Amino acid sequence: CSNSNPTGPIDTTLCDFETVESVNDDLFANLHELVAMPFFKFFQVDLYRECPFWSDDGSCSSPSCAITSVDESQIPERWRAKSLSKLEGSKIEERHELPGCYYRDSDFCFLDDNTDGDYYDLTLIPERYTGYAGPDTARIWRSIYEENCFGLSEVNVISGPTPGISVPDELPDAFKNEDNNEDDGQCLEKRVYYKVISGLHASISTHICQEYLNQTTGEWYPNLQCFINRVASHPERLQYIYFNTVLLLRAISRVGPYLQAFDYCSTGGHEDDAETLAKLSNVISIAQRAGQFDETLLFRGENAVLKEEFKEHFRNVTRIMDCVGCDKCRLWGKIQTTGIATALKILFELDEKALDPETNHNLLQRSEVVALINTLHRFSESLAAVDTFRKMWRATSVEE
Ligand code: FAD
């Protein structure tokens, strides 16, 4: 736990821990209000697509896993399925069609086509402890880490974990990449990939521990021991939460002008729209200060060929989300993998010309913008929770 207060440069970024910590209060405050605005709180997603990798997805029957969608009548008309299909009908036909979802060549993610699925009000569905655990979650996380297998085997690149093949209980060493083997010759791309996944896992764990359920009293409370076991006793996991935060901030900084030109209208009136834009501008200005990451260092020279593999692996991770057996976890899993995929696309696929809002209006879909901002909010909230846990730990140490 003493290692849970990292200092100095954040590996593979141009930023340090102190900078991220110095901006996080401000960042979190702005994001917290931003994600409560109508544009950012409604997310449309088809949560009930079949798991493409195995048939028994181990549905979680815990009431904490249940979520309720919102009636479409609460959603501003222009976002509703019918209007969208009228507007975008021709565009959808051009897409690389897959049943229920699609991707463009530049995408790191399988997306919903925005005409299927229900709307959810994310402010009513906190990411927290649900009780979803056991062999099913272990299988999902193992499958996700197995997508970190670059250049070793092509077997699972397109189809994901082969149905019917049992995944070993322990992660094979080849898939592990905790910090002690930073210098073992793995390429930068593979290390970045692992940090993204492990950081996401650590952030989800932090949310679980931050709002843990006391099964006897029914009260929610921050569970310090849970945080120590899952995150703080593995300092590299905590560091990867910072890493993901910097990566997302860099993406938001790059796409800032495009986000500022995005159409936030009809979200509840002019005042709402102006407030949305003002808070977003604050987030972008923080991102310009703390999002220090040099994306041009990846996929250079002979490593350029790794980009397609990286993309395929991450797309598979977004598809594995359909196998998550707890509705609430699946919702947040889909949002966050979409948010990270959007950031990766912004960093590694789009040049300055493509990012110009004047010439490229259709760069991002609404769902990608909503996912990107909500994902940064998740990570920023995790960092705020880390602060709470540090204070709790210090208080415990003083008592002892
Ligand atoms: P797990 O978290 O399941 O980890 C499995 C193994 O992975 C560990 O034993 C460890 O060896 C390794 N590991 C753990 N953390 C890391 C890391 N950061 N980096 C590298 N390796 C690591 N549960 C909820 O209660 N609420 C949720 O909102 C929720 N959302 C989820 C979303 C997704 C996409 C998934 C797949 C699961 C979600 N879960 C959620 C389940 C939760 O993540 C755990 O799987 C569950 O709590 C069981 O935890 P565990 O202690 O067995 O270890």
195 lines ligand 1 (CB under 6 A): no
Give the pLDDT score at 173. Answer: 43
Q: For residues 177 and 174, give the distance between their C-alpha atoms in angstroms, rounded to a whole number.
A: 8
Query: What average pLDDT score do residues 70-81 get?
Result: 80
Whole-number percent of the chain with pLDDT over 70: 81
The dihedrals phi and psi of 266, each to the nearest 5 degrees, come to 60, 30
User: Using alpha carbons only, what angle is made at residue 273 by residues 91 and 245, rounded to the nearest 5 degrees?
Assistant: 75
Report the nearest atom of ligand 1 relative to the CA of 199.
18
Least confident interval from 173-187, 221-235, 320-334: 173-187
pLDDT for 164 beyond 50: no
ipTM, 2 decimals? 0.99
From the list 60, 65, 149, 326, the catalytic residue is 326
225 lines ligand 1 (CB under 6 A): no
pLDDT for 395 beyond 60: yes
How many Cα atoms sit within 13 Å of 303 on the Cβ side?
14
- Determine whether 265 is an active site residue: no
175 lines ligand 1 (CB under 6 A): no
DSSP at 42: E
102 confidence band (pLDDT: 50, 70, 90): low
Give the pLDDT score at 184. Answer: 58
Q: For residues 143 and 159, give the distance between their C-alpha atoms in angstroms, rounded to a whole number.
A: 12
The whole-model pTM stands at 0.89
pLDDT for 244 beyond 90: yes
Pocket test for ligand 1, best of 209, 329, 375, 378 (most atoms within 8 A of CB): 329
Give the pLDDT score at 171. Answer: 42
Instruction: Point out which residues pair with 16 in neighbouring strands.
Output: 9
pLDDT for 191 beyond 80: yes
More confident residue, 162 or 138: 138
Give the pLDDT score at 274. Answer: 87
Instruction: Point out which residues pair with 119 in neighbouring strands.
Output: 44, 70
CA-nearest residue, atom 30 of ligand 1: 329
More confident residue, 37 or 361: 37
Strands 96-98 and 101-103: antiparallel
- Determine whether 15 is an active site residue: no
160 lines ligand 1 (CB under 6 A): no
- Which helix (H) or strand (E) is 336 found in, with range? helix 327-348
For ligand 1, the distance from its centroid to the CA atom of residue 138, given in whole angstroms, is: 7
pLDDT for 114 beyond 70: no
Q: For residues 317 and 333, give the distance between their C-alpha atoms in angstroms, rounded to a whole number.
A: 10
- The helix/strand/coil state of 43 is strand
More confident residue, 184 or 304: 304
Pocket test for ligand 1, best of 128, 142, 173, 204 (most atoms within 8 A of CB): 204
112 confidence band (pLDDT: 50, 70, 90): low
Give the pLDDT score at 165. Answer: 29
